[in-house]
Amino acid sequence: MIKLGTDIIEVIRIKNSIEKYGEKFLKKVFSEREIEYCKKFKYSDERFAGKFAAKEATQKALMAKMPDTTFPLNQIEIQNDDFGRPVIYLTGELEKYNQKYRLEVSVSHIKEIATATTILVEK
């Protein structure tokens, strides 16, 4: 069984939220590790937008499998491995799904837009 989710977002929307709500917005949506990763880059808004798109794409893949369940964005963590590849870790209440499902995500971003696609495979 395979499920798919995809998302696209304007970088300016994330930029505006960060400017308007600052740390409150960042901490509501992103993990400490994600914040630390994105802030390392010159165009950090683009990185945040990429992670945001990856979270929403993952939400969609999970919802495709479990339509009645909610998947908070801050419990879908998008880390980067030693090669820079994005890796999904479900945390908190969602942690239990790590054993059950394999999740793969691909992320891309340019100055204006970020996009991501997630595949869910039942183990």
Ligand X SMILES: CC(C)(COP(=O)(O)OP(=O)(O)OC[C@H]1O[C@@H](n2cnc3c(N)ncnc32)[C@H](O)[C@@H]1OP(=O)(O)O)[C@@H](O)C(=O)NCCC(=O)NCCS
CA distance linking residue 38 with residue 60, whole number of Å: 23
Reported in sequence order, the residue ranges of 2-83 that DSSP labels E, i.e. its strands, are 2-10, 76-80
Q: What single string gives the DSSP state of each residue in 48-64?
A: HHHHHHHHHHHHHHHHH
Which residues, 6+ apart, have CB-to-CB distance to 48 below 8 Å? Answer: 14, 18, 26, 30, 34, 38
Q: Which residue is nearest to ligand X (CB)?
A: 84
Among 39, 85, 102, 111, binds ligand X (CB under 6 A): 85
Among 80, 97, 104, 113, binds ligand X (CB under 6 A): 80
Residues 38-77 vs ligand X: string with x where CB under 6 A? ---------x--x---------------------------
Nearer to ligand X, 47 or 60 (CB): 47
Residues in the site for ligand X, rule: CB under 6 A?
47, 50, 80, 83-86, 107-109
